[in-house]
Amino acid sequence: MIGVPPHLKRVSDGFVLPLLLLLLLALTALAHSALLVATAEFRMSRIANDLAVAQQAAEGVLVQLPEALAGLPDRIRVGESVLVDVEPVPTAILRAAVSRLSRESWFVQAEAQASEGRRASEAAVFWRMDPIARLARLGGTVTVPDGVSRSGAARVETDSLWTGAECVAMELALDSAFVAGSLRGVESSYVAGSIGLGAITMDDIHRLVPPTLGRSGTPAPLDSLGNCAQAVWNWGGSDPAGTPCGLVHVVRSSTGDVDIVGGEGRGLIIIDGDLTLRDGSSIVGMLLVTGRLRLTNGAYFRGMAFAGEGIRVDPSAHIVGSICVAAASLNAASGALGVFLPLVGATRLGQY
Amino acid sequence: MIGYAKGAKGGTLIEAIVTLVLGLFLVQMSLGALARGHKLHQSLVERAEALKTVRIVRWVLRAELSKGHPGEDWMVHEPDSIVLRAYRGVAFPCLITTGRLDVTYRGGRDPDPEKDSVLLVYESGETDVKALERWGPGASCSWRLGVSPSGWSAQQWEVEGVLDSGIVAVRLFESGSYHIADGALRYRRGRGGRQPLTSNALSTPESGIRTDGAGLGVSLVMKSQGGGDWTRWVSLARQTR
């Protein structure tokens, strides 16, 4: 029984094992800290992803919501807010609120909560045409910018207030908007926007009311089986009467100069160019013209007008100002033009 | 007795040598694994740092630029910088008098006339910029707007010049600029110094603001590539006008 010499016995006892244990411990610590870094990174990525989902959902509401607000303007007064139902999306819970800042401007805020609970919001100011607010900005029967020609202004008269049948429905609103009294004749005024319709642009108008008018035409009422027919030059009748087209107000637009030769009609006529009424033409409603407005050879217009490059009323022609019919025309156009448009300068307000 | 002892001694030596060789091999393997693990850990940390930098650049710049319009509210000044109106809050006026606005305000911070201006947004869609001269608490504007009405406060602002009655909204902003310089995304308010918003992880001037057919974006090249290609394109806006 010879034992192993002491110096070899220490080797066989093993320094390798403690060394290995130490190394394994160091590796475990390293792996653990790497795991912590990876876990933290994974958590941050999930948070970022969740926030991005919430943000996109909130922004999506601002794009989709305006179409759903069509019925709101009559129900909300200036200064009031309402919560609006929003169609849910699989990735987030949505809420939206609409506040009326003035007759034409609306604050819309959308908030989204993603599935992990992160929230994001986005807000914007929208503009929607209001007939009363528009009329209050146009001070005269014919409004023209400063410095443009105004030949025959003496043949522009004004109606007494609220005499038209069309005024009945809007009498209270008109009373509050026109405390200063009746319309003036031709009024020089700086009207923001090219045609006095506020924040709505000509591109918006042509998108909403396709420019169907050609170079010239003769408007005339056209009945079809007891109804007022749909036709480019059917602008209803110039006087309310017991016919299908009697109280119709149309909306028409053009992308160039237009001559109206004779005929009759009523409505909102938007011309991106010059407009000439001639040969006994009788039009009632509102004319918004970026170029020159000319009435000649017995033409007659009743309502309100904006002429961007001046007005000329020949001795045989005549204009009578009427807030009533202008209001009725704008009111009838609210269906086509009364959409919520993002107001430039406040289209994305961010979240605070 | 002697012979047995000799044989036993020889066998132990061989065993010891084999043990030593195996031990050294094991140590080498372990050190290699340790070094590789350390390298992996390092690259993971660098990757995390790079991701964080990309994330900060994307969130900060997108949030700032999305509140404005290119050409009016912000523009690329140099390949490494964007100058902008950094919007900090929005107010809606209840009462407008000459040079004074009673507003309901909500923002990331209180107004500061030392550094803030206001963008007046009119109902027609036109805008105007004025200096904010003074502000204080107000009493007359009690509007509570939006989904969470509690965040609004009534304030009274004094603004330079005469004010039109057609103001719909007032946006509070400070003039500033973002830079990708000296290894980081930096923000400079007015004419102050450029404060870093990220760690010093970016390789500059390789990183910078670029415009191409797809719009505006930031090309980010990391100093340390972290074992992979760490060049990222962060899209900021589709149209730059």
Task: Express each pLDDT in B71-108 by its tens digit.
Answer: 888 888 888 889 999 999 999 998 888 888 999 999 88
- Given the DSSP bridges, would you call strands B167-181 and B81-97 parallel, antiparallel or unpaired? antiparallel
Please, what's the largest Cα pairwise distance for chain A?
145
Segment B176-186 mean pLDDT: 91
Cβ <8 Å between A125 and B121: yes
Residue in chain B nearest A40 by alpha carbon: B48
pLDDT at residue A9, rounded to an integer: 57
Q: 10 Å Cβ neighbour count for B117?
A: 17
Predicted-assembly ipTM surpassing the 0.95 threshold? no
Average pLDDT over residues A219-228: 83
pLDDT at residue A321 in the model? 86
Is the pLDDT higher at A293 or at B44?
A293
Contact criterion met (CB < 8 Å) for B121 and A346 = yes
Is CATH 2.40.10 correct for B84-174? yes
Top mean pLDDT of A62-66, A121-125, A173-177 is at A121-125
Question: Does B145 sit within 8 Å of A99, measured CB to CB?
Answer: yes
Nearest to A198 among B26, B94, B124 (CB): B124
Q: From residue A199, give the alpha-carbon distance in Å to each of A62, A338, A339, B168.
A: 18, 12, 11, 12
Q: B119: nearest CA in chain A?
A: A345
Domain boundaries, chain B: 1-34, 49-81+176-237, 84-174
What is the radius of gyration, based on Cα positions, of chain A? 35
The residues pairing with A217 across neighbouring beta strands, listed in sequence order, are A260
Cβ separation B87–A16 shorter than 8 A = no
Phi-psi region of A296 (alpha: psi -120 to 50; beta: other; left: phi over 0): beta
Residue A222, SS3 per DSSP:
coil
Q: Which of A23, A41, A105 sits opposite B30 (nearest CB)?
A: A23
Cβ–Cβ gap B69/A344 under 8 Å: yes
Is the preceding peptide bond at B205 cis, omega within 30 degrees of 0?
yes
pLDDT tens digits for range A41-52:
888 888 888 888
**Min CA distance, B106 vs chain A (Å)?**
7
**What is the pLDDT, as a whole number, of residue A238?**
63
Residue A113 has pLDDT above 70, yes or no: yes
Which amino acid, residue A227? N
Beta-carbon-side half-sphere exposure of residue A147 (alpha carbons within 13 Å): 1
> Does the pLDDT value for residue A11 go beyond 60?
no
Distance CA B120, CA A284 (A): 37
Cα of B147 to nearest chain A Cα, Å = 5
Residue window 196-235, chain B: list those with CB within 8 Å of chain A.
none
pLDDT tens-digit series, residues A159-180: 766 666 666 666 666 666 665 5
Summarised one tens digit per residue, pLDDT across range A323-333 is 888 888 888 88
Q: What is the pLDDT of residue B2?
A: 46
User: What are the structural domains of chain A?
Assistant: 9-128 (3.30.1300), 131-337 (no CATH)
Contact, B138 vs A140, CB < 8 A? no
Q: For tokens 């995304």, name the residue.
A: B185
pLDDT at B53: 87
B38 touches chain A (CB under 8 A): yes
Does the distance separating the beta carbons of A96 and B171 come in below 8 Å?
A: no
Task: List the beta bridge partners of residue B83.
Answer: B75, B177
Average pLDDT along chain A: 83
Q: Angle at CA A28, nearest 5°, toward A22 and A29?
A: 90
Between residues A68 and A269, the one the model is more confident about: A269
* Rounded CA separation B205/B181 (Å): 7
Judge whether B147 and A97 are in contact, CB under 8 Å.
Answer: yes
Is the pLDDT at A200 greater than 90, yes or no?
no
The beta-strand segments (E) located in A208-292 are: 216-217, 223-224, 227-228, 250-254, 258-261, 264-271, 275-278, 282-289
Contact across the interface for B169 and A110, Cβ inside 8 Å: no
Structure-token pair, residue A9: 């016995």
Residue B219's closest CA among B206, B229, B200?
B206
Instruction: Please determine, for residue B228, whether its predicted confidence score (pLDDT) is greater than 60.
Output: no
Report CA A55 to chain centroid distance, whole Å.
23
> Residue B241: pLDDT above 50?
no
Mean pLDDT of B157-183: 89
The stretches of A70-201 forming alpha helices (DSSP H) are: 131-137, 171-177
Q: How far is B78 from chain A (nearest CA, A)?
A: 25
